[in-house]
Structure 1
Amino acid sequence: MSSVQHSPLSPLFCPRNRLQCLLQCYFEEFTIINISCYHPNVEGNSILRYYRYSVHHLYPLYWCNNKESGDESLCQACTFKGIGTTYYFCDECEVSFHKECVESPPLIKSLYHPKHPLQLVHDQSGIYCSHCESRSRYEDVKLYYYCFTCKFSLHPVCATRPSFLNYPKRHEHDLNIFSRKADLTCDVCGVVDSKPLIYVCLQCDFVVHKNCIYLPFVIRISRHDHRLSFTYSLPRILSCGVCRQKVDGNYGSYSCTKDCSYAVHSKCATREDVWDGKELEEEPEEDYENLNSFEVIGDGIIQHFSHSHHMKFERKTTDIMYDDEKRCQACLLPFYGGGVYECMKSNCDFVLHEACANLPRTKQHIAHPNPFILQVSDTKNIFFCGYCQRCLYGFRYVCSKGDESISIDVRCAAISEPFVQQCHPHPLFLSNELGKYRPCSICKNEKVQTLNCIECSFFLCFYCATLPYKVRYEHDEHFLTLSYKENESLNWCEICEEIMDSTIWLYTCHECGTVFHIQCLLGQCPPYVKPAQNLSFSGTKYNIVPNNRLTRPICNDCDGRCQDKLMLECYDADGRNLFCYRHWEK
């Protein structure tokens, strides 16, 4: 390391090499004399006596002052980043260590835990530090201080931190550590939790968790259109916009900066699936929906950003417009009447629902902390919707911020709170408990993301929430609507002719009194797709072809005869292959 300024050798030795020596000596039944696990400040005869029983060598450390190191370098003793600009370095192992980790004494008394001394130990399990509230991420042996009586631990660096904090933006006085475990309510989050460290101001009777001291003051969350600001009191009783429970106005929370009657608990507002992690205090406002999707050319004529030709607005009746082969380019649903925009070029069949033509270019979704961008550049590419788990084509919203890229279709993107399901009497809200699976009331599949009713035990997954409420059946002149079976006289499905379960959802024609299983009517293939050529998925070209032959073909994937209206067709060295639509989603 040419940028490292080497000082004379220190009397300390490389912790990584020293531990390897000790473990090796232990397994080889060597006797080790006068050498502690991580702090062998040994000299002279002690080293000679060590070499008498061991063939290993201990590497010395250099004291370094490197301004280029920064916070990205990793300490090999505690496995945490941020060794600073002054640290120890082992030239043989080419690793760095915190000054505190190398010079740490075997036993300390800490104001963070005054009842018992803390012992310096190493362990191979995940470390939970009570100060920084983080765990080591690696499988190597880690260094930390530990109280075996209270199961209390600190990293060596955290053990040297001062026992008071000064953060005037949160509180005007110094905050001192409250070392006893007690059920105290935090004035910032309003939660009783003795697990994190607690700081207090006795002068003001102010109590705060350490991890709440630096909570942001102005944020934007996925569940609300406006910014939220932190407040210690609310003028009226409100329910939380995330968990739907009451917000106690005597403790900290977030409320809308636009004077909406909207508030969120501090803990709910700063969840990783709700908040994008940005502090917006003194930052300019940003409008997520400031781009129009089209330019008005004339009376009823527009230039949509997704199409090169002018489009004209038409209002069609249901009987004239229903055509299963002619679908909206954005959502791929048929037209059941209403306003549409049609391409004015005679040989172009590009059509958009009026609502789809007005889709915002940028959208904030309730289930994701970062905004989505409308993408229409290549509708031949199949994409996987991250919420309903369907494989689709057409318009999509894409978010590439954060850890991974996620795509969602325009129907899932349109879901907002409160969500109204026409068959259910109460509004639905997004699940507020991370990692908890619930059975969907329609498909019965357990999902971790559901829309929940706070009045009754009704849960709806995104797949079923985006099922079309109204559909057409080729042998029925009326609309079929999604509903819950209430009439016991409707005993069998019109397609499969099997007895209907009285607890399931179905499609029904109220005029004719006929009922259909959802799966029988829609099939495995979603109602949003139609025959198409040269679609790409995972590098393979597919065609979506009608399954209308007299003899149903055998699916190459499941070895059964596919009953769906559409199938996937692809070609390889063996020739033509046909698959069920679910082949994409496996």
Structure 2
Amino acid sequence: MSSVQHSPLSPLFCPFHRLHCLFDPYNELTIINISCYLPNVEGHHLYPLYWCNNKESGDESLCHACTFKGIGTTYYFCHECEVSFHKECVESPPLIKSIYHSKHPLQLVQDESAGIYCSHCESRSSYQDAKLYYYCFTCKFSLHPVCATTPSFLNFPKRHEHDLNFFPRKADLTCDVCGVVDSKPLIYVCLQCDFVVHKNCIYLPFVIRISRHDHRLSFAYSISRILSCGVCRQKVDENYGSYSCTKDCSYTVHSRCATREDVWDGKELEEEPEEDYENLNSFEVVGDGIIQHFSHSHHMKFEKKTTENLYDDDEKRCQACILPVYGGGVYRCMKSNCDFVLHEACANLPRTKQHIAHPNPFILQVSDTKNIFLCEYCQRCLYGFRYVCSKGDESISIDVRCAAISEPFVQQCHPHPLFLSNELGKSRPCSICENEKVQTLNCIECIFFLCFYCATLPYKVRYEHDEHFLTLSYKENESLNWCEICEEIMDSTIWLYTCHECGTVFHIPCLLGKCPPYVKPAQNLSFNGTKCNIVPNNRLTRLICYDCDGRCQDKLMLEFYDEDGRNLFCYRHWEVADLSA
């Protein structure tokens, strides 16, 4: 410890041992009725606490009684335990009366389950140690010792010009900042202005940027007209606070929706310079139809593909999305011995991108296209270009198809636009694969949900025994009974691929296989740090899968080599997602 001022030995009992004196392993809540000023405790050694004034400590030090950071510069330190404590946690009496809960006294307790939270700061303890709270067993009301001693009024002129006083009664009052009637948070009022605000809404930011919109949003207490929220798609009350686009593009979001952890990155941008997430082009124009793409060392020339010879050219795939070049514009490497090719849309992918499902921006990564990665949203194991976000606790990768999904999302099989309007943490069944997913694209006009896996299924595909394109659709014609590949009866409520010219139908997995069309045979790949190959399974005798010990029907297999020799795996054993018929 630096800058520690040693004072005479304090008669205070170290909170660590004060808690352990009464610890009951059979109860989640242990009542603390030992005073913090005991000179001796039978059977327990009394550890002295030193009163410290350490300016270098700041707000990152952890109090080991309530297990929260923000210990400040003045606190107690136990040399025997080598831990620090809030002054309020050390000096906490067993029973108090608090203005925040005047009906009943609050009992000091130790919470072992992390099942209660502070009603003042609305935070739960984040560690599996002893958590110190003041608790009302009648009302299930709790406070941290620090929060229990805070003043009953708040002064924050940026939110309101007058002092805000704590309102002690539980009442159905509408918060002027978020527009929600919620008696769970503490409520503060200004009687002079008839202003009501939740404790957790007082310090909401004034200028933010969210994942669902390209421009910044600014907080306002009212709007001039009734609009729908850009996150939940519900009505926004024009008489209460919300966030609106600073570029006057009629985009508005509820205060609570805009500050959800999956929507907002937590940054206040009121005095920060503007930042454009998509300000970097992926290529430089060097001539008429000739570009220098940042992912490739050679010049690339634009070509207009026709619909002839498409299936014959299936091996020539886009390096970004690994899909065949089925027509439209492409950029092809000008060197005769280089087969590097990009769809026109893939060549124009932005270097930096904001995605609707994540609050932080993604960076386009092409340096490790030989690495198989797991897409966070569709849960496919893929390779090719990917977008990576390394901000926060972990790195997240998504493929270029999921990254291209924006709102409103147009699914050609569905008549209405789709929006990512899930409630936080709530899962829904996908209308195509029926798997429960937390993040789905939803129709606000009918009951239709689409997971990212099915949203990125190709709308048009080719089949080697059909000269026409097959399209993804919902089975409406009861006469279409047989899948052309497996020859099994088709369910009457199933999504499938159809040839409208020939009248044939196919199960999605039968046509695409367990291995999606975004993967092709490739050599010298890396999967979880192990070298591997993706090999075709098109011989007269099918290859045997190492895991299931059977001959695989998939078109592609994953090939590993170890000290025992060659190992082959079906795609379903190394991909996380599984689309059933």
How would you bin the TM-score normalised by the shorter chain?
over 0.9
When the two chains are superposed, the root-mean-square deviation of aligned CA atoms in Å is 2.8
Cα distance between partner residues in 2 of 1:34 and 1:570: 63
**Contact 1:127–1:142 at 8 Å: present in 2 too?**
no
- Relative to structure 1, the CA distance from residue 380 to residue 32 in structure 2 (aligned partners, 3 Å threshold; closer, same or farther) is closer
Cα distance between partner residues in 2 of 1:519 and 1:35: 66
- Relative to structure 1, the CA distance from residue 435 to residue 381 in structure 2 (aligned partners, 3 Å threshold; closer, same or farther) is same
> Alignment partner of 1:516: what SS?
strand
Cα distance between partner residues in 2 of 1:29 and 1:350: 62
- Relative to structure 1, the CA distance from residue 187 to residue 41 in structure 2 (aligned partners, 3 Å threshold; closer, same or farther) is farther
> Alignment partner of 1:200: what SS?
strand
Cα distance between partner residues in 2 of 1:540 and 1:385: 18
**Contact 1:222–1:364 at 8 Å: present in 2 too?**
yes
Alpha-carbon deviation of 1:300?
0.6
**Contact 1:11–1:42 at 8 Å: present in 2 too?**
no
Match of 1:583 in 2: 573
**Contact 2:22–2:32 at 8 Å: present in 1 too?**
no
Once the two structures are overlaid, the 10-residue window that deviates more, 205-214 or 543-552, is: 543-552
- Relative to structure 1, the CA distance from residue 109 to residue 583 in structure 2 (aligned partners, 3 Å threshold; closer, same or farther) is same
- Relative to structure 1, the CA distance from residue 347 to residue 108 in structure 2 (aligned partners, 3 Å threshold; closer, same or farther) is same
**Contact 2:331–2:342 at 8 Å: present in 1 too?**
yes
Alpha-carbon deviation of 1:131?
0.8
**Contact 2:350–2:364 at 8 Å: present in 1 too?**
yes
> Alignment partner of 1:158: what SS?
helix
Identity %: 91
Cα distance between partner residues in 1 of 2:521 and 2:210: 40
**Contact 2:29–2:110 at 8 Å: present in 1 too?**
no
Cα distance between partner residues in 2 of 1:439 and 1:189: 30
- Relative to structure 1, the CA distance from residue 35 to residue 362 in structure 2 (aligned partners, 3 Å threshold; closer, same or farther) is closer
Cα distance between partner residues in 2 of 1:342 and 1:576: 35
Alpha-carbon deviation of 1:38?
7.4
* Aligned residues between the structures: 573
Q: Please state if 1:344 is matched with 2:334.
A: yes
Alpha-carbon deviation of 1:9?
0.7
Which one of the candidate residues 513, 533, 546 is aligned to 2:536?
546
- Relative to structure 1, the CA distance from residue 393 to residue 131 in structure 2 (aligned partners, 3 Å threshold; closer, same or farther) is same
* Residues 301-348 of structure 1 deviation map (CA, whole Å, 9 limit, x = unaligned): 111111111111111211134421111111111111111111110010
**Contact 1:294–1:357 at 8 Å: present in 2 too?**
yes
- Relative to structure 1, the CA distance from residue 325 to residue 129 in structure 2 (aligned partners, 3 Å threshold; closer, same or farther) is same
Cα distance between partner residues in 1 of 2:336 and 2:305: 18
**Contact 2:29–2:112 at 8 Å: present in 1 too?**
no
> Alignment partner of 1:72: what SS?
coil
- Relative to structure 1, the CA distance from residue 401 to residue 441 in structure 2 (aligned partners, 3 Å threshold; closer, same or farther) is same
Unaligned segments of structure 1, at least 5 residues? 45-55
Alpha-carbon deviation of 1:138?
2.6
Cα distance between partner residues in 1 of 2:492 and 2:273: 55
Cα distance between partner residues in 2 of 1:356 and 1:566: 24
Which one has more relative contact order, counting CA pairs under 8 Å at least 6 apart?
Answer: 2
Unaligned segments of structure 2, at least 5 residues? 576-581
Cα distance between partner residues in 1 of 2:414 and 2:6: 72
Which one of the candidate residues 39, 48, 67 is aligned to 1:79?
67
TM-score (norm 2): 0.95
**Contact 1:19–1:37 at 8 Å: present in 2 too?**
no
Alpha-carbon deviation of 1:93?
1.4
**Contact 2:173–2:181 at 8 Å: present in 1 too?**
yes
Once the two structures are overlaid, the 10-residue window that deviates more, 1-10 or 324-333, is: 1-10
Once the two structures are overlaid, the 10-residue window that deviates more, 91-100 or 283-292, is: 91-100
**Contact 1:386–1:408 at 8 Å: present in 2 too?**
yes
- Relative to structure 1, the CA distance from residue 353 to residue 41 in structure 2 (aligned partners, 3 Å threshold; closer, same or farther) is same
- Relative to structure 1, the CA distance from residue 556 to residue 25 in structure 2 (aligned partners, 3 Å threshold; closer, same or farther) is closer
**Contact 1:492–1:515 at 8 Å: present in 2 too?**
yes
Alpha-carbon deviation of 1:107?
2.8
Cα distance between partner residues in 2 of 1:32 and 1:99: 20
> Alignment partner of 1:13: what SS?
coil
Alpha-carbon deviation of 1:117?
2.5
Cα distance between partner residues in 2 of 1:145 and 1:449: 38
**Contact 2:189–2:197 at 8 Å: present in 1 too?**
yes
Alpha-carbon deviation of 1:399?
0.5
**Contact 1:15–1:38 at 8 Å: present in 2 too?**
no
- Relative to structure 1, the CA distance from residue 387 to residue 222 in structure 2 (aligned partners, 3 Å threshold; closer, same or farther) is same
**Contact 1:19–1:38 at 8 Å: present in 2 too?**
no
- Relative to structure 1, the CA distance from residue 248 to residue 402 in structure 2 (aligned partners, 3 Å threshold; closer, same or farther) is same
> Alignment partner of 2:12: what SS?
strand
* Residues 348-370 of structure 1 deviation map (CA, whole Å, 9 limit, x = unaligned): 00111111111111110000000
